[in-house]
C-alpha cells in the first residue's frame, strides 16, 4: 500500500509541476516583455499589474473555433498538438526538483540514464511540429515543418555533446547523481559547454532568435498557421513546457541543481529559483535579438557550436583522466 501511495504522490508531483511551471513561465513572458518593450497591454487584465492576463488568454482560447482545413490530413492534423505536448510531460518525470524540508529529492523517478531520457523526450516533441506542418495542407506550414526538421538535425548533436561532457565529469547519467556530484568550479570548466547547450536548446525548442520555423513575417505562423482554439493553445503550452525543461536541465547540469544555503530544507526552492532565472534569460533573448536566417542557423550550428562542443568534450576528458 505504501508503494502504491508513493507512486500516486510522484504522479501528482509530475502532473502538478507540468500544469503549474509552464503557465508561470507564460505569465512571466507577458510581464517581462511588457516591461522591456514598454507595452502596457498585458498590464490591464487585473487591477494589480495585470495579474489576470493568463486567465484572459485561457478564456480567449476556449472561445476560439478550432477549424480543420479541407485539404488537411485530418487524423495527423488532430494528433499533432498532443505529440508536441506529451513528450514534455514524460521529460518532467526524470527531472529532479530537489529536497524540501528534509524530504527526499522530489522527482517522478530517478533513472540511471535520466539525462539522455530527457534529451530524447525533447527530440520527440519536435515531431509534433513537423506533423503539423506536413498535415495542414498549407504550403507555408509545410515549409515551416521542413525548417523544424532541418533545425533539429543541426542542433541536436552539439546539445548532446555538451551534456555528455558534464555527464563524463560526474561519472553518471542520472540527473540526481549529476546534481549531487556538481562542484562550483565546474561552472568555469564547463562554460563553453554551457553556451553550446543553452544556444542549442533555444534552437531545439524553436525560441527566438531561432524561430525560423515560425517566422511570422514570412510564414504567417509556420507549422501552426492552420491551428486555432485549444489546439493552438496546446502548441503554445508545449513551447512553455520546453522552456521549463531546458531551464531545469541547464540548472542541473551547470548551476548545481538545488545547491544553495540550507539546501536540505530549501533545495526545491533553489531549483525553482534557478529555473526562473534561466527562463528570464530565454525570454530576454526573444526581446533582445533578431531572428536568424535559415542559412545563419545552420552555419552557427556546424561551424561554431559543434567545434566548441568537441573542444569542451576534450577539456572534460583531460580533467577526468588527470
pLDDT exceeds 80 at position 290: yes
- The per-residue pLDDT for 137 is 86
Domain extent at residue 282? 66-321
Instruction: Say if residues 92 and 108 touch (Cβ distance below 8 Å).
Output: yes
Tens digits of residue pLDDT in 13-54: 888 888 899 989 988 998 888 888 888 777 777 777 778 888
Asked, for residue 263, whether it belongs to a domain, the answer is: yes
Nearest to 150 by CA among 85, 223, 221, 93: 223
Asked, for residue 280, whether it belongs to a domain, the answer is: yes
Higher pLDDT, 70 or 6: 70
Q: For the chain, give the mean pLDDT.
A: 88
Q: Based on the structure, what is the number of domains in the chain?
A: 1
Tens digits of residue pLDDT in 204-261: 888 888 887 887 766 577 888 888 888 888 998 999 999 999 999 999 999 998 888 8
Asked, for residue 22, whether it belongs to a domain, the answer is: no
Asked, for residue 43, whether it belongs to a domain, the answer is: no
- The per-residue pLDDT for 174 is 93
Q: Between the CA of residue 60 and those of 55, 68, 228, 229, what are the distances in Å?
A: 9, 19, 11, 8
Is the torsion defined by CA of 102, 104, 106, 112 positive or negative?
Answer: positive
Tens digits of residue pLDDT in 64-74: 888 888 888 89
Structure confidence at residue 117 as a pLDDT band (50, 70, 90): very high
Least confident of 105-109, 156-160, 195-199: 105-109
Asked, for residue 317, whether it belongs to a domain, the answer is: yes
Strand partners, 98: 106
Report, as an integer, the average pLDDT of 196-203: 93
Asked, for residue 298, whether it belongs to a domain, the answer is: yes
Instruction: Say if residues 248 and 270 touch (Cβ distance below 8 Å).
Output: no
Asked, for residue 3, whether it belongs to a domain, the answer is: no
- The per-residue pLDDT for 10 is 81
- The per-residue pLDDT for 218 is 66
Tens digits of residue pLDDT in 276-289: 999 999 999 998 88
- The per-residue pLDDT for 1 is 46
Asked, for residue 49, whether it belongs to a domain, the answer is: no
Q: What is the DSSP string of 201-247?
A: HHHHTT-TTS-TTT-HHHHTTGGGTT--HHHHHHHHHHHHHHHHHHH
pTM across the whole model: 0.93
Report, as an integer, the average pLDDT of 1-5: 70
pLDDT exceeds 90 at position 267: no
Tens digits of residue pLDDT in 87-98: 999 999 999 988
- The per-residue pLDDT for 219 is 59
Amino acid at each position: 500500500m505504501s508503494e502504491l501511495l508513493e507512486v500516486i504522490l510522484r504522479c501528482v508531483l509530475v502532473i502538478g509541476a507540468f500544469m503549474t511551471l509552464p503557465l508561470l513561465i507564460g505569465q512571466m513572458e507577458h510581464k517581462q516583455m511588457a516591461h522591456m518593450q514598454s507595452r502596457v497591454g498585458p498590464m490591464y487584465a487585473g487591477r494589480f499589474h495585470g495579474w489576470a492576463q493568463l486567465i484572459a488568454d485561457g478564456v480567449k482560447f476556449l472561445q476560439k473555433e478550432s477549424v480543420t482545413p479541407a485539404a488537411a490530413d485530418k487524423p495527423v492534423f488532430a494528433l499533432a498538438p498532443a505529440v508536441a505536448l506529451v513528450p514534455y510531460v514524460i521529460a518532467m518525470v526524470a527531472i529532479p526538483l530537489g529536497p524540501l524540508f528534509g524530504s527526499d529529492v522530489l522527482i517522478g523517478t530517478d533513472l540511471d540514464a535520466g539525462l539522455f531520457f530527457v534529451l530524447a523526450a525533447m527530440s520527440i516533441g519536435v515531431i509534433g511540429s513537423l506533423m503539423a506542418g506536413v498535415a495542414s495542407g498549407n504550403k507555408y506550414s509545410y515549409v515551416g515543418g521542413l525548417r523544424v526538421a532541418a533545425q533539429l538535425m543541426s542542433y541536436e548533436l552539439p546539445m548532446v555533446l555538451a551534456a555528455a561532457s558534464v555527464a563524463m565529469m560526474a561519472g553518471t547519467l542520472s540527473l540526481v547523481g549529476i546534481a549531487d556530484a556538481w562542484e562550483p568550479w565546474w561552472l568555469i570548466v564547463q562554460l563553453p559547454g554551457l553556451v553550446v547547450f543553452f544556444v542549442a536548446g533555444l534552437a531545439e525548442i524553436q525560441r527566438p532568435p531561432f524561430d525560423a520555423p515560425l517566422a511570422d513575417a514570412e510564414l504567417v505562423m509556420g507549422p501552426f498557421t492552420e491551428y486555432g482554439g485549444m489546439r493552438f493553445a496546446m502548441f503554445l503550452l508545449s513551447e512553455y513546457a520546453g522552456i521549463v525543461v531546458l531551464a531545469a536541465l541547464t540548472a542541473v547540469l551547470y548551476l548545481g541543481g538545488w545547491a544553495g544555503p540550507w539546501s536540505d530544507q530549501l533545495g526545491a526552492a533553489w531549483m525553482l529559483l534557478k529555473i526562473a532565472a534561466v527562463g528570464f534569460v530565454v525570454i530576454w533573448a526573444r526581446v533582445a535579438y533578431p531572428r536568424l536566417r535559415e542559412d545563419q542557423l545552420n552555419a552557427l550550428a556546424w561551424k561554431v557550436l559543434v567545434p566548441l562542443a568537441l573542444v569542451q568534450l576534450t577539456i572534460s576528458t583531460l580533467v577526468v583522466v588527470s
